[in-house]
Amino acid sequence: MSKKKGLSLEEKRTRMMEIFFETKDVFQLKDIEKIAPKTKGISPMTVKEVLQSLVDDNMVDCERVGTSNYYWAFPSKALHARKCQTGGAATTGDRLIGLDISS
């Protein structure tokens, strides 16, 4: 018999982000806890931990409305974040090129 190899934390994070990007919807924790094991094979025991790590890294947004927490992540935000990172690096490089080193 072969043992099933579990998913690494990074694989779980990637798969959970796929859930948000594919559905483009807003979820409560209980909804994600039902969807993630069925569609992406993420262990039900680790869904909350993986989701919290994504929220901590600002990859997934979380907002408390009343007594419920809602989670969402849209592809446009990820694209915007990547553009800002590459744009910020170019601006920093431009400033470094403009420096006068002779003084």
Task: Set out the domains of the chain in order of their start, with CATH numbers.
Answer: 9-73 (1.10.10.10)
pLDDT of residue 77: 78
Query: Given this model, what pLDDT does residue 99 score?
Result: 53
Tens of pLDDT along the chain (103 residues) come to: 456 678 899 999 999 999 999 999 999 999 999 999 999 999 999 999 999 999 999 999 999 999 999 999 988 877 777 788 787 655 555 555 555 555 5
Residue 76 is predicted with a pLDDT of: 84
Q: What is the DSSP letter of 1?
A: -
Q: What pLDDT was estimated at residue 3? A: 62
